[in-house]
Amino acid sequence: METAAGEVVPLGGRAETGDDFLSHVWAAVSRSALRMIFEEAEVAGFEPDGRLAAVWLWTLGARVLAPNGGGEEEDDEDEALDDEEPSARPRPAGLVLPYDTARKLAQPLGADLAVIGRRPGAAFQVKGETARMLPVLERRRFLLGGSPRGQPRGVPLGDGMPRTAPRRRAVQQSLFGGEEEPDGLGSVQPAATTLDRVHQAMLLFAEERGEALRRLLVDDGVGGDRRFWTLANALSALYPGTSPEKRWVDGLLARRRMLSL
């Protein structure tokens, strides 16, 4: 294989640089996927974690993993392995890739997994030879703070995620109907990146915190950012149809129409 400059790249790669045939393949895949997901003009405005999240989901075909990290089609096989190896440790929930593959996927997108994974509350996590994109609910404490107000919509009981009981509070009618926190309560500080802000809004929708969602989108101006809705639309197309994330982001997009944003 040759680079664009005519330099020969050995199939086995160069140990000192990590430059190998598969690195170039993944670079081509990443850039091609990004062009398919977003228009060229839209890509430049996204932070690395947003670009990586979209391409990560695209690469895996948005294959949802069970709480033990296995895909739906792998359940029977994993159960058989568990019978044979009862001491094997369960794999983490989320969308998982081998670290080396994830690194090669991320680099052409300007995303350094080693840096992104160290950021507090990061959407990606690296442990040993495995990298994963965390379920949105697992990021809740970082994105919203405190404890969930009851069971988020679209999340079945027994999915392995921590739960807290709903707490009683004074209520009022929200813009979208139903109960909501009184004025002055429930506001959320917009997060640093577009991906984080989309995940914040998804979680607010999931917890039926309509007034807090309105404040984030309207009062704080998050809903006035075109990148926010571009990424939300992309995630809607990429998340598995059976996942809670798909329902939450679709609910968020419906709120956009109600708020005329």
Q: Compute the half-sphere exposure of residue 250: CA atoms within 13 Å on the CB side of its CA.
A: 14
What pLDDT sits at residue 46? Answer: 82
Distance CA 6, CA 137 (A): 47
Q: Is 166 exposed, middle or buried (0-12, 13-18, 19+ CB in 10 A)?
A: exposed
What pLDDT sits at residue 168? Answer: 37
Tokens coding 169: 């509070």
Distance CA 172, CA 235 (A): 32
From residue 47, alpha-carbon distances to 14, 119, 200 in Å are 30, 13, 16
What pLDDT sits at residue 104? Answer: 87
Looking only at the bridges linking them, the beta strands covering 124-127 and 179-180 are unpaired
**Beta-ladder partners of 173:** 179
Tokens coding 3: 């680079």
Axis crossing angle, helix 244-259 with helix 194-206, rounded to the nearest 10: 90
This prediction has a pTM of: 0.72
95-99-101-102 Cα dihedral, nearest 10 degrees: 60
Write b or e for each residue in 40-67: b if 16 or more Cβ atoms lie within 10 A of its Cβ, otherwise e. Answer: eeebeebbbbbbbbbbbbbbbebebbbe
Each residue's pLDDT expressed in tens, for the chain with a length of 261 residues: 445 555 554 544 444 445 566 666 667 767 777 778 887 656 667 899 999 999 999 888 744 443 333 444 444 434 433 444 444 445 456 789 899 889 988 888 888 998 888 888 999 999 999 999 999 999 999 999 876 665 677 665 444 444 433 333 444 444 444 444 544 446 799 999 999 999 999 999 999 999 999 999 999 999 999 999 999 999 999 998 889 999 999 999 999 999 999
What pLDDT sits at residue 8? Answer: 54
What pLDDT sits at residue 23? Answer: 67
CB 249 within 8 A of CB 236: yes
What pLDDT sits at residue 215? Answer: 96
What pLDDT sits at residue 240? Answer: 87
DSSP 138-197: GGHHHHH-S--SS--TT--TTSS-----------EE-TTSSEEPPTTSS-----SSHHHH
